[in-house]
Amino acid sequence: MLYLAEVQKQRSGFGLGGGKAELKLLACQRGEHNWSAVPGDDAIPVEEANKFNDGTLVLVELSASKQVQRIQEAARQLVSILQNFSRLQDKFKDKEEEIEQWKASLTFSSQELNRREMEMQAREEQLAEMEEELERLEAQRSEIENTRDEANRLRDEVASSRVEMETAWEQLRGEQQQVVQQQSQVPQGAVVDEQQARRIQELMNKLGGAISSAREVREQLNQSFGVVGAQQAILDLHWQQLEQKHSMAGQQQEEVDRQNQSLQNRWQEWYQSQDTLAQARADLKGQQSTLSAKQEQSQSVSLQVRAVEDLYQQLSRLASASGAVGSEQVVDVSALEKMSVEELQGLVQHLQQDLEKVFRFVNDQEEELTLQRETIEELQAKIEAASEYDRMALENEMTDELESYQMLNETLVGQRLRLQEREDVLKQHQAVLWRRLGTANAPKPEGGNIDLGPIVAQLNSGRQQQSQELQRLENEIQQVRESLSQIEANVNRLQGESESKRYELKQLEQNLFNQKGAVAELWGRVNVYQEMLQPVQDNLKGLRQKLEAAAGELDRVQQTGEQQDRVLSDLRQALSGLMDLP
């Protein structure tokens, strides 16, 4: 199981070696991204922890019996864990924003569905009203058809009565002429025989019946006029409703036209904002190019600093070995002189083992630094060949790798110094041991006495200047990143506002489309209503014209009937002296 631990050392005896190293367990890994604190202050003695400094945080893998299986410094892993945690926080934040957007979208969709459902219910009610009006209009049309049939029947009856009256009148005239002829042929004082009197009586009764039937037709015609007037009153009410709907449709059409013009203006404003967004994106791209150039320059200077640092370390070790540079580590030579040769040999052997451990550790860190350098070079090659879409992700990864590289490099600077100090201390111990044993085994200096101090000082000065230059570049990179962050925030804000406005305009466009459909539907109902009313009105108008024509014809028939009635009265008076009526 993997633990995060702190190295704790208790030094005894001399300042170097012989210290007891322990690991204080701080946290335990429960999952890939899950760590829990280890309770208590228990410490585990671990021999491998001697190569780390006191207080160093390490990652140690322990077996079930608390045996060390693997141990390494935790600096880089902690940086990676913190970076992953930061990325996860950003992802969670993005997910929360996306969830909030989805919630708002679902709320809006629910409201839109409720609104459309209410519109559908209103349209269903309107359709039901139209169906009822259609049924009423059908009933009125049926009544008008019946009235028209009745009017046609009355007109036929009037025509038939007129024909009968004319026929009876012709017969009566014929009989009257016969009577006149007979009167002229018979002597004065003669009378009409019984058969002729009965014939004349029948004709007069038939003519009187025709006149009374014309009066009955007049009553039925007046009733038909009443029905037509009632139907016209109902139609006038429908025409009034049609006019109201026509006015309502006109108002809604004006409102739709106004909203359409407003929507077109807002779309024009949105297109103009797209130009601003494009300019902000161009600025962002320019800052990204500047950042990429600064990072490349920083990488080049960093590589130069590392090369100078390596050369400086090598020359420092040569200068230290040749005695050109004195060691700052103070060794109590008198105490070493008082030791026995066996103790001094054991101490030298222990220092050699300790130096080998530190050397292996520093060598591992150097190899890891070399791997990171190769990774940075590979990322740089990928960035140069990557597309614009993938470059940002690769640049972020490059930034993380550079931070990790610089952190490890700074850690190695101290490790190299400590390695050099331990090497110097070992050489001083070895010098005392060789002096006490004799100079036969002492190593001979290589290359004579060369003063490397000025070269080391010059390299140190150049190293400091390059470090300052690197620091200046890092500050500029940080400033560019801050400016880039502000520009990215501005671009994201503009893009968010653009998407929000576009979504709002799409919704308004959809609402306007629905309103246009509703207005078109209302105009359709108005037109259909008018198409339904107009034939009924035309039929009713034609029926009234026919009834008026029939009334005029009936008036003429009645006038003729009144004349006939007066003639009948005269005939009765004239025939009273010619026939012997019972």
**Phi, psi (deg, nearest 5) at residue 388:** -65, -30
Mean pLDDT of the chain: 76
Q: Bridge-partner residues for 562, per DSSP?
A: none
Q: What average pLDDT score do residues 556-582 get?
A: 63
Percentage of the chain lying above the pLDDT 70 cut? 76
DSSP string, 411-450: HHHHHHHHHHHHHHHHHHHHHHHHHHH-GGGSPPPSSS--
DSSP 407: H
Helix, strand, coil % in the chain, rounded to nearest 5: 80, 5, 10
Least confident window among 127-136, 356-365, 469-478: 127-136
Is pLDDT above 50 for 18?
A: no
Instruction: Write the CA distances from 196 to 88, 362, 492, integer angstroms.
Output: 130, 162, 121
pLDDT tens-place string over residues 506-546: 888 888 888 888 888 888 888 887 887 788 788 878 878 87
pLDDT tens-place string over residues 229-242: 887 888 888 888 88
DSSP string, 7-18: EEEE--SSSSS-
Confidence (pLDDT) at 257: 92
Least confident window among 319-333, 351-365, 498-512: 319-333
Is the pLDDT higher at 27 or at 571? 27
Q: List all residues 6 or more positions away from 123 whose beta carbon is below 8 Å from its beta carbon.
A: 521
SS (H, E, C) 271-337: HHHHHHHHHHHHHHHHHHHHHHHHHHHHHHHHHHHHHHHHHHHHHHHHHHHHCCCCCCCCCCHHHHH
Confidence (pLDDT) at 60: 85
Q: Which two tokens stand for residue 312?
A: 């400086």
Hey, is 59 helix, strand or coil?
strand
List the helix and strand counts (H, then E) for the chain: 6, 6
Confidence (pLDDT) at 582: 41
Confidence (pLDDT) at 201: 65
* Residue 568 pLDDT class (50, 70, 90 cuts): low
Is pLDDT above 60 for 499?
A: yes
Q: List all residues 6 or more positions away from 458 whose beta carbon is below 8 Å from its beta carbon.
A: none
Confidence (pLDDT) at 205: 66
Half-sphere CA count of 134, side-chain side, radius 13 A? 11
State how far the Cα of 8 lies from the Cα of 351, in Å rounded to an integer.
20
Confidence (pLDDT) at 261: 92
Q: What average pLDDT score do residues 246-273 get?
A: 90
Is pLDDT above 70 for 581?
A: no
Q: Which two tokens stand for residue 4?
A: 């995060």
Half-sphere CA count of 162, side-chain side, radius 13 A? 16
Q: What average pLDDT score do residues 84-113 get?
A: 80
Is pLDDT above 60 for 326?
A: no
Confidence (pLDDT) at 535: 82
Is pLDDT above 50 for 91?
A: yes
State how far the Cα of 523 lies from the Cα of 529, in Å rounded to an integer.
10
Is pLDDT above 60 for 325?
A: no
State how far the Cα of 4 lies from the Cα of 1, in Å rounded to an integer.
10
**Phi, psi (deg, nearest 5) at residue 15:** -70, -20
Is pLDDT above 50 for 45?
A: yes
Q: Which two tokens stand for residue 441?
A: 């085994």
pTM, 2 dp:
0.39
- Select from 538, 532, 539 the least CA-distant residue to 133: 532
* Residue 265 pLDDT class (50, 70, 90 cuts): very high
Confidence (pLDDT) at 241: 84
Q: List all residues 6 or more positions away from 18 whose beta carbon is below 8 Å from its beta carbon.
A: 11, 12, 350
Percentage of the chain lying above the pLDDT 90 cut? 2
Instruction: Write the CA distances from 237 to 10, 48, 231, 241, integer angstroms.
Output: 109, 106, 10, 6
Confidence (pLDDT) at 323: 47
Least confident window among 236-240, 382-386, 405-409, 450-454: 450-454
